Amino acid sequence: MALILDKILFFLSTMKCTQFIGVVFIWVSKFLWFTECATCSIGIDDPELNRLWYLKNNWRNGYDMNVLPAWRSCVNGSGVTVGVVDKGVQDHTDLNINRNLDYGKRQSVTYWADQLILEQNRQNQQRLRYGYNRQPQQRWNSAYNIIQRRKQESLKHGTRVAGIVAAKQNGLGIVGIAFGAEIAG
């Protein structure tokens, strides 16, 4: 009983929610189950860890997500697929992205790119038919580059969000909250 009480007090002190005692007992029972199952020693060596205040905040009122106790209990997102609802996610070495779940979106982008190519070909044929050809390909290239640039710009936010959620624990860049999870991007 003393061991359980110690764990309850430890849990309350780490979660900073002593005012919700009735609800916390439900959480404590789940927390105790995780701590009895296994404990992990985590060695996070990602270079940006000290700058990730939302994971461990030692200098600003102590507000953070308090994920270190969960990581010590071997809860790291393994076997979980997280969907980032945004404009998309770029490929990145720190992310484990399952592109098969994004098939519909890739198809629609491919469709519109094909439509632009068909329209440009139609305009080129008309120019040749009517006897003038003032480098229409240059105009197409600039329009295509603008579309590609806008697409890449729009994906940056989704990539950042995906990194905060599930960046790998690999010694590069940052580590995500659920670093073992897969992104459905």
Tell me 182's DSSP state: E
pLDDT of 36:
45
pLDDT of 110:
52
Domain parsing of the chain, residue ranges: 1-37, 38-184
pLDDT of 29:
46
- C-alpha distances (whole Å) from 158 to each of 4, 49, 86 are 42, 20, 5
Choose among 183, 157, 172, 181: nearest CA to 49: 172
What is the value of pTM for the model shown? 0.52
The pLDDT averaged over each successive group of 10 residues in the chain (185 residues) is: 56 51 44 50 75 76 77 83 79 73 49 63 67 52 66 74 87 86 79
Q: In which residue are the tokens 């690999």 written?
A: 170
